A and B are shown apart, each in its own frame.
Chain A
Amino acid sequence: MSNVYVIGGGESKYGELWDRSLREIAVEAGLKAVENAGIRTKDLNAIYMGNSLGGLISKQEHLSALMSDYAGIASEYVPSMRIEASTASGGAAFRQAYLSIKSGEHDVVMVGGAEKMTELYGTEIIDITSSLVDREWEAFNGATPAALAALSARKYMMDFKVKKEALAAISVNDHANASLNENAQYRNKITIEQALNATPIAEPLNLMDCAPMTDGATSVILASEKYVKEHGSKGVRIMGSAISQGPFALHSRKSFYTVEPTIISTKKAMEQANIKHKDISFVEIHDSYSIYGLMALEDLGFVEKGHASEMVENGIGINSNLPVNPSGGLKAKGFPYGAAGVSQIYETYLQLSGKAGKRQIKDATCGLVHNMAGSGAASVVHILGVD
């Protein structure tokens, strides 16, 4: 079967975009991606849109259709649909687009990711984001996504004697990288001390352990090998793609700090890519909470369970052996739920194309992208590389 390439992308600013609507940022990212990929909208065979909470936050469903209409291409009747897998919606949408080309059905497909998180006042958003977890048996009793991450964190810290500093290091790294990303929500660097002393959210996690509420949209364009050859497009190849789903509620899992779907997806994607961990130049990981960053580095197989703290202490910055979250990650680039997975892919595309500017990783040839749903019900792993 022929290869599939990412040939371009674009995105809105990430942040609190009070004056901009969900449809506006989605359209902005889509049009930028079309321009950047050097295609015409009439070339698009399909649009897959990652969005998690549009129905609950903006009371708007069918975002894919709305975006294509407001991008002015309703007259081209491009098939479009929204893919929802909570905070892994972006990664799941990207995988559907990949499969549609891999199957031979499509040649050029757009993947959009958009989320407008700051639309509501007060704490109502905490109830809405609790729809990521089991509404009747977790959220009903007062558990929030942050609370579930905190339950994982406390057990992890006790079992492996890990200090809070290791969790903080994930957030400190994200902020350092985001300071080099002009689209990032938080471009301020933070220190370990600042990270340790922030306002508590769900103990032992505080504000600096938690990814923010972000408005943002990112789009990428995928194309078949045939299209790339015929049009002389430049792109990065999708070497592996896998998604896996396990028990939904945290309390149903065998381990509270192991995300089996991440382990399984990684194994599958790496087999497809035919690579080893040492071949990976950098990773974009799903650190919606700092503890999930440590857990991801272990479940992805870069270090044994319980030992991620040693890895982050040795450095995970842009010039380290394995740079983590060059984009600024979910904590500092920002966390628009359904867009996050596409944002990670776009960063990986930029890095592998040598277009990442000040945060460019030297000699980057292969990137791994990890996008997780909620507290770990599902994980999507993609591996992208240069030919």
Chain B
Amino acid sequence: MGELSRMWREMPSRYRMQGDRCGNCDQVYFPPREICPVCHRDSIGKMKDVDIDGAGEILSFTVVHEAPPAFLRQKPYIIALVKLKEGPVITGQIVDTVPEEIDIGTKVRSVFRKISEDGKSGVIHYGYKFVPE
């Protein structure tokens, strides 16, 4: 409980995959960063919001059987490292498929889904998951 502001402030990135781009080197970041790790101080004030398309490719994946309480009803579920079209690699679930149907290299696309909920009376957390193209 009491996670409202922690979740709320990330809504632009979780709901519609808002990342950012360094105005100095053009590198795209998701999740967004305040400072570009390549350009350091030269990037200050030059990080601009950018919308991530959501298309990507699986770099590795696992099927999770031992899950924390918030994910017990979903297990077993697939977690993957997904390389986005714009460059960043992110961690997310692969859904609407089975492990046998995917592999390293499978093309995926982001979808807006419920991720978990904060107990019976807390807020529901939404965000991105991925489905095979």
| Contact residues in A for B91 (Cβ distance below 8 Å) | 137-138, 141, 143, 148, 151, 249-251
* Chain B min CB distance to A295 (Å): 14
| Contact residues in B for A122 (Cβ distance below 8 Å) | 69
Stretch from A30-38, A100-108, A123-131, A378-386 at the B interface: A123-131
From A146, A205, A256, contact of B81 by CB (8 A): A256
Question: Do residues B67 and A142 form an inter-chain contact, with CB atoms below 8 A?
Answer: yes
| Contact residues in A for B15 (Cβ distance below 8 Å) | none
Q: With the chains together, A134 CA to B59 CA distance in Å?
A: 19
Q: With the chains together, A201 CA to B64 CA distance in Å?
A: 6
* Chain B min CB distance to A206 (Å): 9
Question: Which B71-130 residues have a C-beta within 8 angstroms of A?
Answer: 71-72, 74, 76-77, 79-81, 88-93, 99, 104, 115-116, 125, 127, 129
Question: Do residues B115 and A123 form an inter-chain contact, with CB atoms below 8 A?
Answer: no
Question: Do residues A130 and B68 form an inter-chain contact, with CB atoms below 8 A?
Answer: yes
Whether B25 is near chain A, meaning CB under 8 Å from some CB there, is: no
Question: Do residues A200 and B79 form an inter-chain contact, with CB atoms below 8 A?
Answer: no
From A123, A150, A199, A251, contact of B90 by CB (8 A): A251
Question: Which A137-173 residues have a C-beta within 8 angstroms of B?
Answer: 137-144, 146-148, 150-155, 158
Question: Do residues B64 and A151 form an inter-chain contact, with CB atoms below 8 A?
Answer: no
Question: Do residues A203 and B127 form an inter-chain contact, with CB atoms below 8 A?
Answer: no
Task: With A137-B91, A155-B104, A256-B59 as known contacts, state yes or no: A147 contacts B68, CB within 8 Å.
Answer: no
Whether A57 is near chain B, meaning CB under 8 Å from some CB there, is: no
Q: With the chains together, A387 CA to B74 CA distance in Å?
A: 56
Nearest A-chain residue to B129, judged by Cβ: A141
Q: With the chains together, A250 CA to B67 CA distance in Å?
A: 19
Task: With A140-B115, A141-B79 as known contacts, state yes or no: A200 contacts B65, CB within 8 Å.
Answer: yes
Looking at chain A's contact residues, the main secondary structure is helix
Question: Do residues B65 and A136 form an inter-chain contact, with CB atoms below 8 A?
Answer: no
Q: Chain A, interface size: which category?
A: 35 or more
Task: With A142-B79, A250-B81, A250-B91 as known contacts, state yes or no: A154 contacts B61, CB within 8 Å.
Answer: yes
* Chain B min CB distance to A204 (Å): 8
Question: Which B27-64 residues have a C-beta within 8 angstroms of A?
Answer: 31, 59-64
Question: Do residues B65 and A203 form an inter-chain contact, with CB atoms below 8 A?
Answer: yes
Question: Do residues A140 and B79 form an inter-chain contact, with CB atoms below 8 A?
Answer: no
Looking at chain B's contact residues, the main secondary structure is strand
Question: Do residues B104 and A154 form an inter-chain contact, with CB atoms below 8 A?
Answer: yes
Question: Do residues A126 and B66 form an inter-chain contact, with CB atoms below 8 A?
Answer: yes
From B6, B31, B63, B116, contact of A202 by CB (8 A): B63
From B60, B67, B93, contact of A123 by CB (8 A): B67
Task: With A141-B127, A154-B104 as known contacts, state yes or no: A147 contacts B64, CB within 8 Å.
Answer: yes
From B31, B64, B65, B99, contact of A137 by CB (8 A): B31
Whether B10 is near chain A, meaning CB under 8 Å from some CB there, is: yes
Q: With the chains together, A203 CA to B94 CA distance in Å?
A: 14
| Contact residues in A for B129 (Cβ distance below 8 Å) | 141
Task: With A136-B31, A154-B104 as known contacts, state yes or no: A141 contacts B93, CB within 8 Å.
Answer: yes
From A124, A138, A148, A153, contact of B69 by CB (8 A): A124
* Chain A min CB distance to B11 (Å): 12
Question: Do residues A150 and B66 form an inter-chain contact, with CB atoms below 8 A?
Answer: no
Whether B4 is near chain A, meaning CB under 8 Å from some CB there, is: no
From A136, A144, A148, A153, contact of B66 by CB (8 A): A144
Question: Do residues A158 and B104 form an inter-chain contact, with CB atoms below 8 A?
Answer: yes
* Chain B min CB distance to A270 (Å): 28
Question: Do residues A144 and B81 form an inter-chain contact, with CB atoms below 8 A?
Answer: no
* Chain B min CB distance to A40 (Å): 45
Whether A252 is near chain B, meaning CB under 8 Å from some CB there, is: yes
| Contact residues in A for B66 (Cβ distance below 8 Å) | 123, 126, 144, 146, 201-202
Q: With the chains together, A251 CA to B58 CA distance in Å?
A: 12
Question: Do residues B79 and A147 form an inter-chain contact, with CB atoms below 8 A?
Answer: yes
Question: Do residues B60 and A202 form an inter-chain contact, with CB atoms below 8 A?
Answer: no
Q: With the chains together, A230 CA to B61 CA distance in Å?
A: 58
Q: With the chains together, A252 CA to B61 CA distance in Å?
A: 16
Task: With A141-B93, A251-B90 as known contacts, state yes or no: A256 contacts B60, CB within 8 Å.
Answer: yes
In this complex, the member of A126, A137, A202, A251 whose beta carbon has the largest number of chain B beta carbons within 10 angstroms is: A251
Ordered by A's residue number, 17 sampled pairs between the chains whose C-beta atoms are within 8 Å are A123-B72, A126-B68, A136-B6, A140-B116, A141-B91, A143-B91, A144-B66, A150-B79, A151-B81, A155-B60, A155-B104, A202-B65, A203-B65, A203-B99, A205-B62, A249-B91, A250-B81
Q: Which residues of B contact A (CB under 8 A)?
A: 6, 10, 31, 59-72, 74, 76-77, 79-81, 88-93, 99, 104, 115-116, 125, 127, 129
Query: Lowest 7 CB-CB distances: which A-B pairs, in order?
Result: A150-B62, A127-B68, A155-B60, A126-B68, A203-B63, A251-B89, A151-B60
